[in-house]
Structure formats: structure tokens, C-alpha cells
Structure 1
Amino acid sequence: MSQIDETRPFHPVRIAVLTVSDTRSLEDDRSGDTLVARIEAAGHVLADRKILPDERDAIADQLRTWCADPEIDAVLSTGGTGLTGRDVSVEAHRDVYEKEIDAFATVFTIVSMKKIGTSAVQSRACGGVANGTYLFALPGSPGACKDAWDEILQYQFDARHRPCNFVEIMPRLDEHLRRK
């Protein structure tokens, strides 16, 4: 069973937040605000925050820029994971991923099923790794952002979480890039 081991040290993770929307601004970005509040309340660092329109190349370019920044450990995007023609966040993320974290989508679907039933099939939330940086594409609703953070990411971004977590393997995410 998973648990927090209080004898282990907490290590803040530097997380960037990207809202993908053709209509949102910082003044009315409830999903981005939800993620920022949770990131900071957990003791992590908001490394950057941006809003971009639903444009695949622009999203992928921003993800690559953040992946190249040694001051950013993880990126959470919100929006653009649905089924409509303008929903391209998943494709943009997959353009960048070196490895996909397949189980994130599965666990997110399980969490969502408990909250919204079969409507969970309409989300294409996903996660992956690129250049030693974690990348997660979350749906654009504040509720989905809460669910992803509260049920999955807050634990995986906590180095004290047992039996394992994302933080403890962070130094090894880009080991393939160091090999000769």
C-alpha cells in the first residue's frame, strides 16, 4: 500500500504549467489556477506559466523549450485532451515524448470513472518523459486537474511517497543522453 514516509526528506519539484485554450487568459484560467494553487500548497515551485492556443506546433515547441531548461523538472498542461478537431495537446505531447508513461492514462481513467462515470472515455490524458523532464497533458476542467493532482501527481511528485515515486528516479531520466 502506498504511504508517505515522514522520515524521508521532501524535495521541491520545479513545475511549469501550460494552459491550452483559444479563449482563456490568465484572468479566467481556472484550471491553470487550480494546478498552481496545488503545486504551491504542496511545497513545489511554479517554474513558469503560459497560455497558448490549440496549435500543435506551438504547444510542442513550448514543451521542448521547457524540457531544455534545467530549471524545470516537470510540465503540466491543461486543455486540449478531448475529441474535437481543435484538441491537439495529446498529439503535441507525443511529438515530444521519448517515453510515454502509459499507466498514467490508465490510472487517470480509473480516478475519473469514480467521479464522472463513463464520461471518462472522452479524456485522452497522457504522460511522458523527454530530456529528463516529466510531461503530463490533463483535461481542461478544474475538476479533472484536481483529480489528476490530488489522486496521482501529488504523490508521485513527493520523494517521501513509498513504495516509489517520480522524484527518486529523476536523476536517471536522461541517463541515456550521458552514455557514450
Structure 2
Amino acid sequence: MAKATMAEFIPLNIAVLTVSDTRTEETDTSGKTLVERAAAAGHNVIDKAIVIDDVYQLRAIVSKWIADEKVQVIVSTGGTGFTERDNTPEALIPLFDKSVEGFGEVFRHISLGEIGTSTVQSRAFGGMANGTVVFCVPGSTNACKTAWDKLIVEQLDASHKPCNFVPHLNLTDLQCESRG
């Protein structure tokens, strides 16, 4: 890919994962929402999967995407609550080179205004692995809309200032600007 400046939008390759024991392609409104929003923002959704909430199956698909040099972003929906079957954090955090603590913090801050104190039960989180950014959000369609529209979309846009995740991905040598 040609070298770009921070002012240029760079379409990224995104994989979308729905974590659910019950959803199918026909009933997966959360995954569909993320796919539609990513495409509308100008990104390329190059893979999508639905996986049951099993630690090892989650690690298998996400590890495959992390190792794939074509995938720059993974957005996962589901498995971030407190039920016995919610295992996304336990499955994926060990795969990260670095955690993005601010992602979960900001998501919960935004959600507080939408769903009140129930947001404390959200275990939304993010991280970096092998030059791939991973965002994991709750399984509700509204949570996916909130995460994408109010947080993820700007962080995947190279023109968003003072900084975004694009310079940290395995595709360019961009650097964040100073907050000056």
C-alpha cells in the first residue's frame, strides 16, 4: 500500500465475529449492524463468522485472523457479560500484545448515558495483537451501534486527530500527531 498522510482516509480490512450459542446468519442483527456500518464508513469486511461462546473456538478464529496479514481490524460482538457462557474476555485477552484499556472505559462512559448504571456489567474491551486492533463489544444491536458510531469509527479513520489506531496497524508507517 502506498504511503499515506494522516489526512487521507485509508480503507481497512475488517473481520467481524459474533459470539453466540443461538444466533444464525438470519438472526444475527448485531453482526449485520457492524458489517453494514464498516462498509458504510468505507472499510472492507473481508470475513465474518458466528462462533459459539467457547474459549478455544474463540481463540482459534481470532488467532487465525490475527495471523492473517490481510486483517487489520477485528470487531467482536457478544460474550462480554457476566453469565456462565460469557467467555470472550477470558478467551481473547491472553492473545493481546497490549490491552487498550481506554476502549472499555470510554464505551462504558458513553453507555452510562444510554442505559444507566447497567453499563457496569459490560466487559467491553480492546487490544492489539500482531499489528491488528481488536474491539470486543456486547452482543446487543444497540451496543454495537453505540460502539461503532461513537467510538470505533473515529479510531479507524486515519484523518481523526490527534490520533487513531491506523498508525499502529500492519499497513503503514504513519505516526500520531502531537496534541500540541
TM-score, normalising length: structure 2: 0.90
Supply the RMSD in Å over aligned alpha carbons: 1.4
Kindly state the Cα deviation for residue 8 of structure 1 after the two structures are TM-superposed: 1.6
Q: Which residue of 2 aligns with 1:4?
A: none
Matched, 1:8 2:7: yes
Given the superposition, is the C-alpha separation of residues 134 and 162 from structure 1 closer, same or farther in structure 2, using an over 3 Å criterion?
Answer: same
1:74 and 1:138 mapped to 2: Cα distance? 14
Q: Which residue of 1 aligns with 2:22?
A: 23
Gaps of at least 5 residues in structure 1 are 1-6, 174-180
Q: Which residue of 1 aligns with 2:49?
A: 50
For residues 71-90 of structure 1, the aligned pairs below 5 Å read: 71-90=70-89
1:45 and 1:91 mapped to 2: Cα distance? 28
User: Residues 13 and 43 of structure 2 are in contact (CA less than 8 Å); yes or no, is this contact kept in structure 1?
Assistant: yes
For residues 1-180 of structure 1, the aligned pairs below 5 Å read: 8-171=7-170
2:72 and 2:170 mapped to 1: Cα distance? 10
Kindly state the Cα deviation for residue 172 of structure 1 after the two structures are TM-superposed: 8.7
Q: C-alpha offsets along residues 110-155 of structure 1, whole Å, 9 cap, x if unaligned? A: 0100100101011100000111111111100000000010111000
**Corresponding pairs, count:** 167
SS in 1 for 2:14: strand
2:169 and 2:15 mapped to 1: Cα distance? 16
Kindly state the Cα deviation for residue 93 of structure 1 after the two structures are TM-superposed: 1.2
SS in 2 for 1:109: helix
Instruction: Identify, as 1 or 2, the structure richer in helix.
Output: 1
User: Residues 93 and 135 of structure 1 are in contact (CA less than 8 Å); yes or no, is this contact kept in structure 2?
Assistant: no
2:168 and 2:7 mapped to 1: Cα distance? 15
1:139 and 1:59 mapped to 2: Cα distance? 15
SS in 2 for 1:65: helix
Given the superposition, is the C-alpha separation of residues 60 and 105 from structure 1 closer, same or farther in structure 2, using an over 3 Å criterion?
Answer: same
TM-score, normalising length: structure 1: 0.90
SS in 2 for 1:27: coil
Matched to 1:125, the amino acid is A
SS in 2 for 1:28: coil
User: Residues 60 and 95 of structure 1 are in contact (CA less than 8 Å); yes or no, is this contact kept in structure 2?
Assistant: no
Matched to 2:38, the amino acid is I
Percent identical: 48
Kindly state the Cα deviation for residue 40 of structure 1 after the two structures are TM-superposed: 0.2
Given the superposition, is the C-alpha separation of residues 172 and 48 from structure 1 closer, same or farther in structure 2, using an over 3 Å criterion?
Answer: closer
1:133 and 1:166 mapped to 2: Cα distance? 9
1:139 and 1:44 mapped to 2: Cα distance? 21
